[in-house]
């Protein structure tokens, strides 16, 4: 158990819909990272927040957005969902913002039908 929690574990929805994935970092960690894992793209970095502020951005689609709240939990919002958005979405956390070991949560499996 990494100490990072993610909800829900599974999510099934339809194209065009909007979903919110939630992540609680390990106790004391200030950074939260979001990754997408799909069969054809592997594990891809989406975005990082540190202490409530956006720190780094990867290949995150404009339809996707994230935020980190004062209690340090984070939410990833996915809108106008497409079939290709079906993937595993992982959250990771670390104490600081750079050269810190990242610990991953169990993931949310999203299926868009």
Partner 1 sequence: GQQLNQSPQSMFIQEGEDVSMNCTSSSIFNTWLWYKQDPGEGPVLLIALYKAGELTSNGRLTAQFGITRKDSFLNISASIPSDVGIYFCASEGDWETSGSRLTFGEGTQLTVNP
Residues that bind partner 1 (CB under 8 A): 2, 4, 31, 33, 35, 42-45, 48, 55-58, 90, 92, 94, 97-107, 109
* Distance of closest approach, residue 16 Cβ to partner 1, in angstroms: 27
The residue among 17 and 43 lying less far from partner 1, judged by its C-beta, is: 43
Strand, helix or coil at 60?
Answer: coil
Return the CA Rg of the chain. Answer: 13
| Shortest Å distance, C-beta 10 to partner 1 | 10
DSSP secondary structure string for all residues of 16-57: T--EEEEEEPPTT--EEEEEEEETTTEEEEEEEEETTEEEEE
- State the minimum distance, in angstroms, from the CB of residue 37 to partner 1: 9
Write out the two tokens for 37.
Answer: 């894992």
* Closest to partner 1 by CB, 35 or 64: 35
- Least CB distance to partner 1 at residue 105 (A): 5
CB-wise, 28 or 42, nearer to partner 1? Answer: 42
- Of 75 and 100, CB closest to partner 1: 100
Bridge partners (DSSP) of residue 9 are: none
Helix (H) or strand (E) holding 7: strand 5-7
């Amino acid at each position: 158990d990494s100490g990072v929690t993610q909800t829900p574990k599974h999510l099934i929805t339809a194209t065009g819909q909007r979903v919110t994935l939630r992540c609680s970092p390990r106790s004391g960690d200030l950074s939260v990272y979001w990754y997408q894992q799909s069969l054809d793209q592997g594990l891809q970095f989406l975005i990082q927040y540190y202490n409530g502020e956006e720190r780094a951005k990867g290949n995150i689609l404009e339809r996707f957005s994230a935020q980190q709240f004062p209690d340090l939990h984070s939410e990833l919002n996915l809108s106008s969902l497409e079939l290709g958005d079906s993937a595993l979405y992982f959250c990771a956390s670390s104490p600081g913002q750079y050269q810190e070991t990242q610990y991953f949560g169990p993931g949310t499996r999203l299926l868009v039908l």
